[in-house]
Structure 1
């Protein structure tokens, strides 16, 4: 029993002695780590200050500042470990970092993919903060571009969070990428109207709308001969291309076009359809010799088509004959 107690006591004394010997290294390691920590904070502040004036670069500066801070702290940690454990070589640290990096890469693949995509978006700047973009079924104003995702505010007051990897690998429409934007709308006029006159009136209505740019000039083009209308496409340019401004200006342009055309006698017809009566009644149902519809060509004599006018004439004759018969019967009854 005394031997076991003596052994434990010797081990405890050895641990205390080793700690006392290691204590200066621990203090030095803490000092080194604290120095690197404050250096990392200073580097982060410098990077953020360099990009403070630019709105888009501000997010990039924050990301780069955090990366620089993390890298500096990691380097300080490795140096501190080398001070505490002199036998720990730099090659061992690099090997440990490589194995850990592979493991972390597999575990957080999607997060790292979004992170790298966010860095590339911030560097290439396909769109900027406050730009209005369209991505798949989502449309709105860019609020933030973070390292993991980009947030947009829809026009009806909702927030959409989109992973950066999807934004980077798919098509994105940037409505506010340029100062000017062209709008268009198809106006249908009647086939009996003068096309050139209608185009002149449309251009006059567009050009007299406040907010439409004179250069580039507006134009009107015939784009389709539809079933019941001749479609003329009116195109005009606006500035700036913000959503609210675009809708307000389009509203005024269309009102002016409609009033101008109707005031000058240009027809804006509704869609029309031609209805053909089915050439099949109870009397001809199933009788291929009297039924015209669906008659195969080259299979004997094809029945002649029946016109609506002939059918109405026969109906009128039947009605008149029936009324005459009733009148004659009434006269006969009265005579009797």
Structure 2
């Protein structure tokens, strides 16, 4: 009985000690497992950094899931990228980034040297492929230029030589672009094409704004060469300028004024302006104003003027001669008389001048008064006014009734000047046989 009590007392005293030893043993086991996990994590992080460039000098220590990074990198971006990279590793609790930027000159230059050597040897390896790409580029360009040099079908398709040259230029540009695409495709660098086209678009936009007027004139030249609103030697009025058309160039329309001066009008202005072509219709109307005194039989004066003009041999019967009263002046009644001529044979100014002369003779013979619109006051020695002597009336019997020469001599002489100008070897977009709009 005493023995059992002693055994129970010994067991009671030994239980706390055994419990403490069991706790110590368990704690040691936990620490060992944590150490193994930290070591495995450090090894994994080192393996990851080993596969990446620029982290050769970075050391890794892990304690209780806390990762400490030390060492140097080549730039700040690599150092900051470590945090995000290691943060994705399983089991990482926190990261202490003590990595700094390296100032070692040799280390900082070595990557550049290595990249240069790599690019050099890659270029050497690509030389045969570059040769094939250049050969393909040359073949495509040669084919495009060969097609562009042919006269047909461009001369048949285009309305004139200027448009044909533009089509040939478009074919050449398209051939060059196609050759670049083929060459880049052989080299596997088609991604550069979008960059090249983007840069070309920006450059083209800048050039377009810089030479906007030149581009506008060029486009107007193309449209005018297609439309052909006038032909060489046509008498036209453009933007207030009158004259004979000499030529149409890629920049301007050149006309010879009736004073014999050369006038260059930008094609953009010509295209946007109202163009009056006097030559397109061979029949042309001339007109003049004449005044008769108050009290004159206007119906008789009107009939006499029309019959006089109608009787001139150079005046056309259709359209017919006409006249009408225009205004009531201070001393006369205004009338306008019109007639039509064939301007291919008759000069406009000469016909108008002769018609006025013949109407004046007819009015003088009929006794129709044409009063002067001015007044004169003459003073004698006594200071009193004397009546002005009446102007001497011409002797109608002595005035020649013969019709004067009204041939279009001046117009033909101007046409000869224009033809001489056109014989020189200069650019001209006009054709006599072109379809007129």
**TM-score, reference length from structure 2:** 0.53
2:204 is the counterpart of 1:101: yes
Q: 1:120/1:50 Cα in 2 relative to 1: closer, same or farther (>3 Å)?
A: closer
1:240 aligns with 343
Q: In the aligned structure 2, how far is the partner of 1:223 from the partner of 1:47?
A: 57
2:326 is the counterpart of 1:256: no
C-alpha contact (below 8 Å) 1:182/1:237 kept by paired residues: yes
Query: Which among 229, 232, 244 is matched to residue 141 of structure 1?
Result: 244
C-alpha contact (below 8 Å) 1:29/1:84 kept by paired residues: yes
Q: In the aligned structure 1, how far is the partner of 2:320 from the partner of 2:293?
A: 26
Q: 1:264/1:195 Cα in 2 relative to 1: closer, same or farther (>3 Å)?
A: same
2:110 aligns with none
Query: Which among 155, 165, 169 is matched to residue 48 of structure 1?
Result: 155
Segment of structure 1 superposing worse, 216-225 or 151-160: 151-160
The Cα shift of 1:131 comes to 2.5
C-alpha contact (below 8 Å) 1:45/1:65 kept by paired residues: no
Q: In the aligned structure 1, how far is the partner of 2:354 from the partner of 2:370?
A: 18
Q: In the aligned structure 2, how far is the partner of 1:179 from the partner of 1:101?
A: 47
Q: In the aligned structure 1, how far is the partner of 2:173 from the partner of 2:331?
A: 73
2:167 aligns with 68
C-alpha contact (below 8 Å) 1:189/1:267 kept by paired residues: yes
1:334 aligns with none
Show CA shifts across 1:167-217 (max 9, x none): 222333322343322221111122243322222221122111122111111
1:121 aligns with 224
The Cα shift of 1:249 comes to 1.7
2:311 is the counterpart of 1:208: yes
Gaps of 5+ in 1: 1-7, 52-56, 278-310, 313-336
Show CA shifts across 1:124-175 (max 9, x none): 4444443222124421122223332211121222221111222222333322
1:287 aligns with none
SS at structure 1 position matched to 2:205: helix
Q: In the aligned structure 2, how far is the partner of 1:28 from the partner of 1:198?
A: 87
C-alpha contact (below 8 Å) 1:129/1:143 kept by paired residues: yes
C-alpha contact (below 8 Å) 1:78/1:93 kept by paired residues: no
2:184 aligns with 85
Q: In the aligned structure 1, how far is the partner of 2:163 from the partner of 2:291?
A: 55
The Cα shift of 1:32 comes to 1.8
2:283 is the counterpart of 1:175: no
Segment of structure 1 superposing worse, 86-95 or 134-143: 86-95
Segment of structure 1 superposing worse, 17-26 or 113-122: 17-26
Show CA shifts across 1:306-331 (max 9, x none): xxxxx97xxxxxxxxxxxxxxxxxxx
How much is the aligned-residue C-alpha RMSD, in angstroms?
3.3
Q: In the aligned structure 2, how far is the partner of 1:260 from the partner of 1:79?
A: 79
2:375 is the counterpart of 1:273: yes
Q: In the aligned structure 1, how far is the partner of 2:171 from the partner of 2:339?
A: 55
C-alpha contact (below 8 Å) 2:154/2:168 kept by paired residues: no
Show CA shifts across 1:263-303 (max 9, x none): 2222232223387x9xxxxxxxxxxxxxxxxxxxxxxxxxx
2:324 is the counterpart of 1:221: yes
The Cα shift of 1:18 comes to 5.0
Q: 1:96/1:12 Cα in 2 relative to 1: closer, same or farther (>3 Å)?
A: closer
The Cα shift of 1:257 comes to 1.4
Q: 1:272/1:155 Cα in 2 relative to 1: closer, same or farther (>3 Å)?
A: closer
Task: Point out the structure with max Rg over C-alpha.
Answer: 2
Query: Which among 138, 155, 161 is matched to residue 30 of structure 1?
Result: 138
SS at structure 1 position matched to 2:296: coil
Gaps of 5+ in 2: 1-115, 385-437
Q: 1:46/1:155 Cα in 2 relative to 1: closer, same or farther (>3 Å)?
A: farther
The Cα shift of 1:111 comes to 0.9
SS at structure 1 position matched to 2:305: helix
SS at structure 1 position matched to 2:330: coil
C-alpha contact (below 8 Å) 1:117/1:168 kept by paired residues: yes
Q: In the aligned structure 2, how far is the partner of 1:102 from the partner of 1:205?
A: 66
